[in-house]
Structures are given as structure tokens and as C-alpha cells.
Structure 1
Amino acid sequence: MPYDESVSPTPRRWPLIVAAALAAVCLGAAGCGAGGDSGGAQARPRQGGSGMSAAPPSAPPSQSAPAPAPGKTSASPTASASPSKSAGGRTSGPLSGKTVVIDPGHNPNNHLHTREINRQVDIGTTHKECDTTGTSTDSGYAEARFTLDVSHRLRALLRAQGAKVVLTYDDDRPYGPCVDERARIGNEAKADAVVSVHADGSAVGNRGFHVILPAPVRGGAADTSKIVGPSRDLGTRIAGLFVRATGSAPSNYVGGNTGLDTRKDLGGLNLSTVPKVFIECGNMRDPKDAALLTSASWRQKAAQGIADGISSYLKG
């Protein structure tokens, strides 16, 4: 949608978002009583990031470093996790027995395979591109590199809590996967939760994160009737705990400062039969957001916020 310079974050709303998530955390927790195709702003005709071709991926120096060991504090919902090895050699922990699928948006090599990724696939209600290139910062840090890095960090945090974690791809294929395959991977894994990781490609001045939720959709292979409710719960928890972990504000251009947006045009959501959300962690085209997205320490905080939201959702 057109950028309106009069729109700005409303800090007084942020505590409400955190409070909603923390209230959900406490619903099933003892001792809590007394005391959120890629996504992108809906106006852009893309399945993820931005419709533009990204600059050839070039990571900033901090990106190439391996994800640091998860650092937890007592304030984090995942901090109490104390994973151990069971007799069978499997990691046990508070998320033991749960399956999480992480979907790193786009692919760093999509820009080399435009014919393949432009192929139309059926998303139930219509047809869309197999995948898109995603966006990048002005310095050339590709969204697809960002999403892989955050996904690796997120995987480590969830595995430390005992979850089985599946990535839709791990920089192990020349392009894609297509959006319908991304949804199918989560469905076939019978995932308890799926999160598609992205960063946006909007106008300068548009800042903040938002979590994209599935709308009620039915048509062809698409039927979200069973996942709309649980996906909203998952997305709300992620949004609130992402604020707390990163200090980032909810988007000032999507979602009315709630950090939540509902869409019916994304194949990855329409075709999912398990609870699933997308998160746009920030806007790569805004210099201030780009400074965060290219920071390894901030990416660790982003992964922690997403992990906290997933953990809260799975623990009920």
C-alpha cells in the first residue's frame, strides 16, 4: 500500500502485544496466576520479500560466522529448558516429541534460475510463481542469506529443547523449493508448528516486523478452516515474544501496529494443513532496519524471539 509518512509506530501499543503473548504463555503454566511465500506487504505482487531481483548474494562479514551457542536468560520462556540424552540417544526436553518445520524464505540462487522459479504452481485458489528471488539490503545482503542464517539459529534453539526440527531446504538445491512443495513438506512431517522466515522489501521509512496469518480460504487443494485458529495463536505468541527478545517495534506500515497481518494470497499458507505463519523480521530496504538485519547479534535475538513464541505455543 502507499507509504504514508504520517504513520508511525505507537509505542503504547507495544506492551499490549507483549502482554497478549505473555498472557497466552501463562494460560497453561503453573505459577503464572497472581501477579505471529513468502510474505511482504500485500500491495506488492510478490510471493515473498519484494518482486525485484535481488542483488547477487553477498553476506556482510558478520553473516559468515557460525551461529553462536544459544544464550538464554531467566527472562526467556525457553530458558528453563535443560535438554538431556535419553537411553536411546535422543535429546529430551520440554519440546520432546514435537516437530517444528522451519521454512527459510527464497533461495540464494533463485536469481540464477528465473525461468524455473517463474513457473506457475497451483495454490488452490489461483496460480502463482513457484518462488521469487526475495529482496536485499542496499549493500547486497540477500534476504535468502538472512533467512537461512536465522533458520539455522532457530533450529539450534529448538533442538536444545528437544524438538525435532525439519528445514524445507538447507542451501542444498539450486533453486526453490516451490511454494506448494514448501507447504507439502510441513504437511507430510505432520508438524506441530511451521514458521516461514522472511525479511521485507518495502519503502524507506517503513520499519518493523509483522507476522502473517492464514485467512479462511477454501478452493481446490486449499482449505485453511482447521488451521486459522491455531495459527493465530502461534502468530500472536511469536509477535509478542519477538518484541521482547529483539526490542523491535511492530510494523508501522502493515497490521495497524499490531504486528499481525492476515492474508489469503500466499500458497505456503493456503496449502498448509498444519498450523503455520510467516514472519517478516524487518524491512531490508530501510537503512535502520537493514542495520539490524545485517547484525549477527540481532539475528540471534530474532531467532530467540521466534523460538520463544514457538515454545510457548507448543507448551500450551
Structure 2
Amino acid sequence: MQVILAQPRGFCAGVERAIEIVERALTLYGPPIYVRHEIVHNGHVVERLRAKGVTFVDEVEEVPPGSVTIFSAHGVSLAVDEAARARGLKVIDATCPLVARVHLEGARYAKQGRDVVLIGHAGHAEVEGTLGRLTGPVHLVASAEDVADLKVERPDHVAYITQTTLSVDDTRGIIDALKARFPTIVGPDTDDICYATQNRQRAVLDLAPKVDLMLVVGAANSSNSNRLREIAGTAGVPAYLIEDATSLDPGWLDGVSVVGVTAGASAPEDLVQEVVAVLKQRGGVRVSTLPGIEEALRFRLPVELEQTAATYQVAIPPVAE
């Protein structure tokens, strides 16, 4: 059997930054540290941090007043931010800088008096946070079909923003439908789409024609991991989303000569290597990595934690006012 690993795969810069923030906060303040919601969508990451003294809560009202509290990489609404500060919590914001940029873009469009259309999935933590950051008319669409049902106040004064865990390919049809219905609509450059989402999806598309089976390491509640599985399936390859190596069904490998392995942006690399180790137990397994994009982007840590770690370079320009 041959095993081919996708490149890139696994952790993105936003996830690495969020986990680093929690680790540094533990070092600086000591446990307990409170985190609202999962810091990233991966149960293994959450449990490892919980073992170090992190308490995960659903709402800030569960946090004792004055405690150190971290917002997850997905971002939060203004109401959550205000509630945390009203309790006197010491807040450290681990919102991914790319998500924060979407918040700023949306706020700028709203300030211009535009109806803002958010392309995303209802119920996703990032979408809930973004919706809660915008004032004025805001509309959520998840498909091109949703565009036809939009009711806006000023059809000639509309803007759109996107959930970061959707790629350029995911949003293209929806954006085309928006532009067809609202010819004067404005929106961010495609550079604002999450680089990690786009790169991982492209890597799966490159890998799919070369394999008989695709394994995607990631959590069931991870939007980008589920999308990787869907993309492989659409490319005609049987694909399975697995939490870790224990989720691997040996029956999937019957008659399979080449297995592709990738991982969602919130899945640690050690889980990928555990899957590879299980595959190697079959004997005679050759492992290689498909050449792909080498990601070097790193994000700056929050200012209150900068003195505890090397400062990361920021490669995202500010949003124009």
C-alpha cells in the first residue's frame, strides 16, 4: 500500500495562535484559565488544554468575576464582549486575525449605510460572532438560491462579506448570484478569504486523482474538515472524516492500493501520524507527501502576552476606514 499525505494539511496560523495564547496565559497567570466555547473545533486539543487547567464554558456568565477569560479563534459578538467586561473579566481575545478582519470589513460597510450580506452557515460559531458585530441591516445566505429571497432596503447600496472557513471555490457561485441581482454590490478582495481553507481544499483536489481512498483527520463539528471530505467525495474518491486513528475502519482499506491522508485546519499533526502508524501496521506501506504550498504565515500574539513569547510577523494589511 502507498500512503500519500496532502500538503498543506492540519493546523493553520490562526489555530496555532489561539492554542499558543492559551498556553502562554497558563504560564503567565496559572490555572484556572477560562475559555468561552472550544478554543478550536477539535476535541483532542480541548482535552489536552483541559488537563492543564483550562475550563471551557458556554457563556461568560459561568466565569467567576475577575477571572482570566479567553475568546475562541472563531470570534464573539459585541454582546458577549460587553457581558465579559461587565463581570470584570480579564479578557484575552484569541479571535483569528482573518476573522477580525471580516468584522472590520463588515463594520465599515455598515457605517456606509449599506445592507450587509454575510455568506456563511447558520449556527457556526464564527457566523454568530460576526452577525453580532454588525449594526444595521444584515442578511445571512448559505447558497445561491438564498440570494433570490433577499429583501434589502436599498438594492443599489449592498455589500457582502464571507465566513473565513469558506474558500473562493465555495463562495464563487453565491457571489456571482449576488452580483447578478445587485450589480453595484461591493465586497472584499478574494485575498480576504482564509488562505488555509483555500490551500487545504486545493491540496485535496490535487491529491484525489492519485488515490483510491481519502482519510480526513478532523472533528465532526469542524466546518473545514467536513468540507475537505465533501470535496474528495465530489472528486469521485471514497472519503471518510475520522476523529483519530481509533476511528479508522479496516474494512475501508479492502482492495485499496493508495490512501490519501489530510487534516482539517484545527487537527494536530500528531493525530495524522497516528493514522499513518496504524496504516503501516499492514506492512509494506510506503509513505510520501504530495508537493504543495509551504505556509509560512504567522500572526502576532495579543499585546498582553507578547512578553512571554517571540513576536510573530503580521502579514495582513489594515482595513481602510
TM-score with structure 2 length normalisation? 0.26
Bigger CA radius of gyration: 2
Bigger relative CO (Cα 8 Å, ≥ 6 apart): 1
